[in-house]
Amino acid sequence: MRKKSVLLASVGLVLLVGLIGTAVVLAQGGEDWQQPVESEVGSQPVEEATEETHRTSEVSIPDGMSAKESAKVASQIDTGSTVTMEALVQNWEQNLLGKEGWLHLKGKHYVAREPGSTLPNGAPLPEIYISESWYNLDEMGNVHQALSLMLDESGREIQRSMFKEGQWENITLQTKAPSSGDHRVHVDFGVLQKLEIARELELDVREWTESVGDTDHFVVAIEQELDAPVKVLSCPEPVEGSEFKATFDSQTGQLLYTESTLLTSSGSRFVSNRLTLLMAEMMPESSLPVEVNRLFAEE
């Protein structure tokens, strides 16, 4: 395997879930800027995944296990499965979308930050926050207008963005970003793109199925080694590699959660980014919350 100095687990990369309140691929300026260049988003109703959920697995895959080791354990569960992540995502997208209405997304995020991290306006940025978004879609999945909120755990608004007339505007920071492309909605939060790039770079990619309670999960992990240790984010130790892991419901194709981990020189693992999908649903305009209608009316 060729080593490539491209940290897939780094929050600063454009490959990561880049935009607070949305699952936008190729977002510029990091996940705190709410100004996407593309409008590729997605989700569906899920219960919040917890570490306790993982402990109910029939075959446990420890958190500290590498992608290679995980594949060995997973082989006890998945014997010759021909399921692919691409097929799962396509199935989910077809079932969730394909009709006119409003796509409602909600997610819980963890992002490792340097102490005292703030927005450009001086507002503090929490490591744990909630994103909630509403997207007005046509039958083809094109976004016509959208509202995206970043909230703290108590529900207090940290920042707000709106999409209309082909561009995103961060209302809180009073900045705008034109959006290119056809503004189509996708439901994998950029995982397929990460996987495609990882294969092009000949990184270590593993896929397996594991049983969690009464549900089968499909997991993809991308592991990478660096040519030399580097300093990344608030990680206290030099970083020698990274692992990105995404977990899907094997039956529906629904993305459940993602996690990015930095692998340090001492052999420890530092979680830099975690996303758990809490809700995604299509709804008619008549079902939009009163507060959401009010925010759209203000703009």
Q: Helix/strand/coil (H, E, C) string of 155-194? A: CCEEEEEEEECCEEEECCCCEEEECCCCCECCCCCCHHHH
Does 115 fall in a domain? Answer: yes
Question: Digits of tens for pLDDT over the chain (299 positions)?
Answer: 444 444 444 433 333 222 223 333 222 223 443 433 223 333 333 333 333 322 222 333 334 444 444 443 343 334 334 568 888 888 888 888 888 999 999 999 999 988 888 888 888 899 999 999 999 999 888 899 999 999 999 999 999 999 988 888 999 998 988 776 667 777 788 899 999 999 999 999 999 999 988 889 999 999 999 999 998 877 889 999 999 999 999 998 999 999 999 999 999 999 999 999 998 899 999 999 999 999 988 86
CA distance 260 to 223: 10
Does 22 fall in a domain? Answer: no
| Amino acid 151: pLDDT | 95
| Amino acid 182: pLDDT | 67
Does 69 fall in a domain? Answer: yes
Does 263 fall in a domain? Answer: yes
**CA 227 to chain CA mean position, Å:** 27
Reported pTM: 0.73
What domain count does the chain have?
1
| Amino acid 234: pLDDT | 79
Parent domain of 94: 51-298
Does 151 fall in a domain? Answer: yes
Does 91 fall in a domain? Answer: yes
Task: Tell me the CATH number at 247.
Answer: 2.50.20.10
